[in-house]
Amino acid sequence: MKQNLINHLIWAVIAITAFALGSKFSSGGSVNDDSNGTRSPAHLASRQSSSPEDTSVAGNARRKSSGRSSSDSSQPTSLSDEDIAELGRELRAAKGPIARHLLFTEILKNLTPENARLMREQIAHLPPSSSEYRDFHYAWGGLAGKEVVEFGITTPGDDMGPAIAGWASANPNDAIAWLENLDMKNNPAYGELLDIPQLTVEGLTTHFSRALVNGLAATDPDIATDFVLNRFENGDKSSHHMMHLIAGAHFRSGDPTQATNWIESIPESDLKNTTMHRVAGEIANTKPRQALDWLQNTPQNESRSHGIGATLHTWAGKSPEKAADYIATMPPSEDRDAATYGYATRVVHDDPAVGVEWASNISNPESRNRALIDTGRTYYKKDREGATAWLSTSGLTPGQQKKITGGK
């Protein structure tokens, strides 16, 4: 039974660059020699080598590939079952990560729907949490979709998540239609999973949805966004996390503008608020002023306030003096209140008394009380005596004070 899937229900990190593995290592054509004169395993998959003594299956694959025209050089090599088995033996015997990466790249390069199950036997010894294990099932999912997902039901480890992501990246419409029409309760194929007490239809659907969004976000963030918005409108509590996955994919492009343009297209909602918080915080890690410039050119609404608060929270953790100086230049406004809120909830962890003092400077009474409660809780945990003395002059009602102390 697929017991190990329980530990992967939160699985989100799915490698999306499987076929790029080894590209950094295959550009050279030399054969590496060890100090004792023997060849290192790295030569096994060196695609440029034409040494006559290279009789490995990787060498055979290269020689077969060299006979093809350049127009079809990206096509898999036709390997026999024995070739594949030998490739697996070489992978298991490889010494060092570079040699293993090069051999694993040969497996991915020559993977076809027809030989995939035999290829999988060659990587089945790898830990299910390893990048190679996940990358293999991601690549196979892109080739065979539903077949791979259902194959993973009875195997150890989380084959299904990476397979769904790979399927979604290659055939998004088919993958989405499959998930939206999936009826696990009445599908005998899923009976073994649902027999495990810790697994539920809701939990599995969440796991599958996150995997699908990972695959979609890598190739078509717009489709991924539409999918998550639909899940959000239907009450899916994991929508916030899935939207953060899409934000992460935008940031991997290296252009924060891509993420900011994307988020402005999201309809106003609690989902947009939390996503704005994430995006602003990411930019603020390296360019807090850029994040603030962007936010102050967006419409004045709750999402903007969340973003400004997140930016100052992040900035205060890295350079509290500069962040404080920036707030001092802001005129009284909702933006300044949001900035002060974010700043106060960060510095309170380093200096509780300073944190509650900043919170008390918020002009909006409702926002100020929320900030005082948030910072007061931290103060009370770190310095109960000091916090108790502060509460007596805080201006908070007895009921608000109980939210800080936990009293009844």
At residue 205 the predicted structure's pLDDT band, cuts being 50, 70 and 90, is very high
Nearest to 164 by CA among 151, 183, 180, 145: 145
Is the Cβ–Cβ distance between 111 and 98 less than 8 Å?
no
- Three-state DSSP class for residue 39: strand
Residue 190, pLDDT score: 87
At residue 59 the predicted structure's pLDDT band, cuts being 50, 70 and 90, is low
Look at 67-71, 87-91, 139-143 and tell me which has the smallest mean pLDDT: 67-71
Is the Cβ–Cβ distance between 334 and 309 less than 8 Å?
no
Phi, psi of 200 (to 5 degrees): -130, 165
When pLDDT is averaged across residues 27-31 and rounded to a whole number, the result is 35
Nearest to 327 by CA among 362, 282, 286, 278: 362
In this predicted model, which residue has the larger pLDDT, 61 or 166? 166
Taking the alpha carbons at both ends of the chain, their separation in whole angstroms is: 47
pLDDT tens digits, one per residue of 245-300? 998 888 777 777 788 888 888 888 889 988 888 888 888 988 999 899 989 888 88
| Residue 137 scores a pLDDT above 90 | yes
Distance CA 49, CA 102 (A): 13
> How many CA atoms, within 13 angstroms, populate the side-chain half-sphere of residue 341?
24
Q: pTM (2 decimals)?
A: 0.69
